[in-house]
Amino acid sequence: MHEFELIARLKPLLPTNDFVVAGAGDDCAVLDLGDPGFHTLLKTDAVVEGVHFLADADPEKVGHKAIARALSDVAAMGGTPTAAVVTLALPPKHDPAWVEALYRGMGRTAARFQVAIVGGETTTNPGQALVSVALIGRVPRNQSIPRSGSMVGDAILVSGELGGSIAGRHLEFEPRLPQGQWLASTEKVHAMIDISDGLAGDLRHLLEMGGNLGAELLGSAIPISRTARLRAREGELAKPAMIAALTDGEDFELLFTVAARDAVPIMDGWRERFPDVRISCIGRITAGPAAFIRDRHGVRELPPRGYEHFGH
């Protein structure tokens, strides 16, 4: 059973109440806690040694990643993060200096985005280190952007460049919070997700949540990172650069859909406000449910998934 099958099996077991606006299935839960102007966002995420970082990784970068993963999910909802708590699980013979460096990295990134770290929990773990971050934030009422909402004919857009994150960017990425907040303020985005499991996998989340929609991508429009191209050219990747861009994961860029008529104004507005962050229109939503990519080799089906926990 892979990750998404497990999630689908567990979702019916989750209780709800009148505070829940949107629960499991989006990048963040959306809660109505009585604030007349805002909904509350709630998110938890974890990094595990040997899965999300190696034992010799710079602990300050690991700390950055632990916080930034959750920040990226808030960005995908168009929200503003406010406070976090951290659960830290360590092997019995841990290095206190490593832990201090981890917290310096978390603290530096949290402070840069005006997020308070207000406590948490420490425990032992017989195996590797684990860092779990629970984050709250807020978003103006009726402006949170769900994964559902895409419509046939919508343009598909993506920020930044994709692929090759394992070369180091997965520890140094910038959560797209200002961009997500601006997109929410336009009220033109139909659906959005951050790319953590690869473009192919996360696009399928948007398609499934939109009602088993399909997609057609233009291969020449996919923003493949320079790192992925170089590593593929030098034989350091066991797959072509395009496949890396579609399936590597941990790019933490924003993938979103807008009406076709809004694509050019959104891209123009983005480039004016965020000239240092690339924006690309990579395809369109179709009646589906199949998803294809068109390039110089013809038309072929999009890889079924990106990265999957329990799938390797």
- Residues 284 and 216: beta-carbon distance below 8 Å: yes
Please say if the pLDDT value at position 227 is more than 60.
Answer: yes
Place of tokens 């861009």: 245
Tokens of 281: 């229109």
What pLDDT shows up at residue 294?
A: 94
For residue 2, the model assigns a pLDDT of 75
> What whole-number distance in Å separates Cα of residue 269 and Cα of residue 304?
33
pLDDT band of 232, cuts 50, 70, 90: confident
Would you place residue 310 in the very low, low, confident or very high pLDDT band (cuts 50, 70, 90)? very low
> What percentage of the chain reaches a pLDDT higher than 70?
96
- CATH, domain range 155-301: 3.90.650.10
Query: What are 265's two structure tokens?
Result: 């104004």
Q: Is the pLDDT of residue 305 over 90?
A: no
Average pLDDT over residues 195-204: 95
Q: Which CATH number fits domain 3-140: 3.60.20.40, 3.30.56.10, 3.80.10.10, 3.30.1330.10?
A: 3.30.1330.10
- At residue 308, the pLDDT reads 54
Task: Give residues with Cβ within 8 angstroms of 204, minimum separation 6.
Answer: 291, 302, 304, 305
The domains of the chain are located at: 3-140, 155-301
Output the CA–CA distances (angstroms, integers) from residue 134 to 42, 70, 143, 241, in the order listed: 7, 8, 22, 34
Binned at pLDDT 50, 70 and 90, residue 231 comes out as: confident
Q: Is the pLDDT of residue 312 over 60?
A: no
pLDDT confidence of 309, banded at 50, 70, 90?
Answer: low
* Segment among 113-127, 195-209, 233-247, 253-267 with least mean pLDDT: 233-247
pLDDT of residue 141 exceeding 80, the answer is yes
CA distance 106 to 108: 6
Pick from 286, 77, 295: nearest CA to 181:
77
On the question of a common fold for 3-140 and 155-301, the answer reads no
Mean pLDDT score of the chain, rounded to an integer? 94
pTM exceeds cut of 0.85 = yes
**CA 87 – CA 97 distance, rounded (Å):** 18
- Concatenate the DSSP letters of all residues of the chain into one string: --HHHHHHHHGGG----TTEEE-BTBSSEEE--S-SSEEEEEEEEEEEBTTTB-TTS-HHHHHHHHHHHHHHHHHHTT-EEEEEEEEEEE-TT--HHHHHHHHHHHHHHHHHTT-EEEEEEEEE-SSS-EEEEEEEEEEETT----S----TT-EEEEES-BS-GGGTGGGT----HHHHHHHHHHT-EEEEEE-SS-HHHHHHHHHHHTTS-EEEEEGGGS-B-HHHHHHHHTT-SSS-HHHHHHH------EEEEE-HHHHHHHHHHHHHH-TTS-EEEEEEEES-S-EEEEETTEEEEPPS-S--TT--
pLDDT tens-digit map of 88-104: 999 998 999 999 999 99
Query: What pLDDT score was predicted for residue 299?
Result: 93
Mean pLDDT of 2-25: 89
- Split at pLDDT 50, 70, 90, the class of 296 is confident
Distances from the Cα of 1 to the Cα of 154, 254, 306, 309, angstroms: 32, 28, 16, 10
